[in-house]
Amino acid sequence: MRPLRTAAAVAALFACTSGAAAQTLTLADALARAGQSAYPVRIAQGAANASAGSSTSALGGILPTVRVEASYLRTTDPLNAFGFTLRQRAVSLASFNPAALNYPAAIGNVGTGLVMELPIFNADAWLGRSAAVDAHRAASAAERWSRVSAGYDVARAYYGALLATEEVNALESALAAARAHVRQAESALRNGAVTRSDALIASVKAGETEAMLVSARSEAALARQRLALALGTPGDTAWALPAFLPGAKRVHEVAAAVGLDSAGAPRADVEAAEYARAAADADVKRANSLYIPRINSFGRLDWNAPSGVFAGPQSWTAGIMVSWTPFNGGTQLGDAQTAKGHRGQAEAGAEAAAAQARLDLRQSSDQLVVALARLDIAERAVEQSAEAHRIVGRKYDGGLATVVELFDAAAIEWQSRLAFAEARYQAIAASAGRLRALGLGLDQLTSLDN
């Protein structure tokens, strides 16, 4: 127990003295960063924004269209020349001179028009708009789910980094104890109390612990990189982390609160799948409505003059158009077949999402129960292995135990400490998984920052 407490004190002192250089990153900070910069969140946000644009574009066959036209033409073509003269209200008796009609002088015309097109009935446009709106709702729900999933990934990466740091601290304590045992064995060898093989075995065991420490330090560095990647800022690791995972008692309290919150919220991924199914169903109706006639109206104001925009006398035109395309070479049939295929795909996706949500609820509940049970066992194992190590140490001091037994007892103690850290991590991860399965954010876990 003493080496671990010493390491904890040293780590805490180092954290205090280096706080000015690097601010400690809490889970609340990490979740806030991920909500802004995590790659899955940004990707889903972009998709939601794009779907919003698509739903707005779908208004094209529903809302009026206003257009301004302007042109300038100059011609000696008899028909157009007389038409320009007529449009400019400049026709006179001289205009009917056969020579002037057959061989007109060049004439210019500035034509300006203000056009409004007003859809009256376009069934495919209305149904297409409905499909686009549901698709946007699906994308928005998918964005919400990406935030929940990103929070889950960040929580696992955050506490995974803390786990790696705690493993380094535990192995440093184990290595310090192993080196002390080596010095003890070498001293006993000089006094003739043990054989040279005992000292050599002690040195080998210490080397094994040192090799594990080297690997643990490498894993801790990688864990920081994984956390930075989950945050969406892989180039920024200029933050400090707590030296240890939260204690078992605090982990139990948070896990109990999470387990009791079984009501949850509507899962955003299930909502996204349901909206996608609604969008696909509306798209099938849109494809089938292509056989229905379209009714549209228009009106326009025109100005024609030798020069000047909106100059000359004004004229207007208005009308209603009905168009019907009973067959367009198979395009409508292909569109309907494609839409039906997408509907089948969306229906299967919605059923799968609902089934997965039910499975996640059951699985997350079981995982949380198992993780808490393992945590209790691991906590008892730490106390038992420490006591066993102490007993073997006293026996070794009295010449009643070999150095191999001493190192085995030490190895069991630090392995139990590593297992205890892993058990706390798994309990936290199971709590995060339970919140995700319930469709909730990870805010409840931020109480572990205290």
Band of residue 346 on the pLDDT scale cut at 50, 70, 90: very high
**Cα gap 65→301, rounded to integer Å:** 14
- For residue 108, pLDDT beyond 70: yes
| Amino acid (one-letter) located at 131 | A
* Top-ranked range on mean pLDDT: pick from 6-15, 46-55, 170-179: 46-55
Across 74-83, 280-289, 353-362, 404-413, least confident range: 404-413
Band of residue 4 on the pLDDT scale cut at 50, 70, 90: very low
Band of residue 201 on the pLDDT scale cut at 50, 70, 90: confident
**Cα gap 352→140, rounded to integer Å:** 19
| pLDDT in the model for residue 83 | 93
**Cα gap 24→9, rounded to integer Å:** 17
pLDDT in tens, 347-396: 999 999 999 999 999 999 999 999 999 999 999 999 999 999 899 888 87
Provide the percentage of residues in the chain whose pLDDT is more than 70: 93
Q: Which residue has the higher pLDDT, 336 or 264?
A: 336
Beta bridge partner(s), residue 315: 302
Kindly report the number of other CB atoms within 10 A of residue 340's CB atom.
15
| pLDDT in the model for residue 260 | 66
3-state secondary structure of 231: coil
| pLDDT in the model for residue 14 | 40
| pLDDT in the model for residue 194 | 66
Band of residue 283 on the pLDDT scale cut at 50, 70, 90: very high
| pLDDT in the model for residue 264 | 62
The first and second tokens of residue 27, run together, are: 């889970």
- For residue 279, pLDDT beyond 70: yes
Mean pLDDT value across the chain: 88
Long-range contacts of 352-355 (CB under 8 A, 24+ apart): 352/273, 353/267, 353/269, 353/270, 353/272, 353/273, 353/274, 354/270, 354/273
| pLDDT in the model for residue 20 | 45
| pLDDT in the model for residue 350 | 96
**DSSP code, position 438:** T
pLDDT in tens, 313-333: 999 999 999 999 888 888 889
Residue 320 backbone dihedrals phi, psi, to 5 degrees? -125, 140
pLDDT in tens, 169-179: 988 988 888 88
Across 44-48, 206-210, 267-271, least confident range: 206-210
pLDDT in tens, 241-265: 998 899 999 999 999 888 765 666 7
| pLDDT in the model for residue 7 | 43
The number of angstroms, rounded, from the C-alpha of 16 to the middle of its chain's C-alpha atoms is 34
Stretch(es) of the chain classified as CATH 1.20.1600.10: 2-59+126-281+331-449
pLDDT in tens, 416-434: 999 999 999 999 999 999 9
- For residue 3, pLDDT beyond 60: no
The domain 2-59+126-281+331-449: what is its CATH number?
1.20.1600.10
Q: Which residue has the higher pLDDT, 2 or 131?
A: 131
Band of residue 11 on the pLDDT scale cut at 50, 70, 90: very low
Q: What is the mean pLDDT of residues 331-342?
A: 92
Sheet hosting strand 65-75, strand order edge to edge: 65-75, 107-121, 294-305, 314-323
Q: What is the mean pLDDT of residues 393-406?
A: 80
| pLDDT in the model for residue 193 | 65
- For residue 21, pLDDT beyond 70: no
| Amino acid (one-letter) located at 199 | A
Provide the percentage of residues in the chain whose pLDDT is more than 90: 67
**Cα gap 313→284, rounded to integer Å:** 49
Across 65-74, 211-220, 329-338, least confident range: 329-338
Beta bridge partner(s), residue 109: 73
**Cα gap 138→74, rounded to integer Å:** 55
Whose CA is closest to 417, among 8, 24, 12, 14? 8
| pLDDT in the model for residue 262 | 60
**Cα gap 169→163, rounded to integer Å:** 10
Residue 300: partners with Cβ closer than 8 Å, 6 or more residues away: 113, 114, 115, 116, 316, 317, 318
| pLDDT in the model for residue 326 | 87
**Cα gap 350→270, rounded to integer Å:** 7
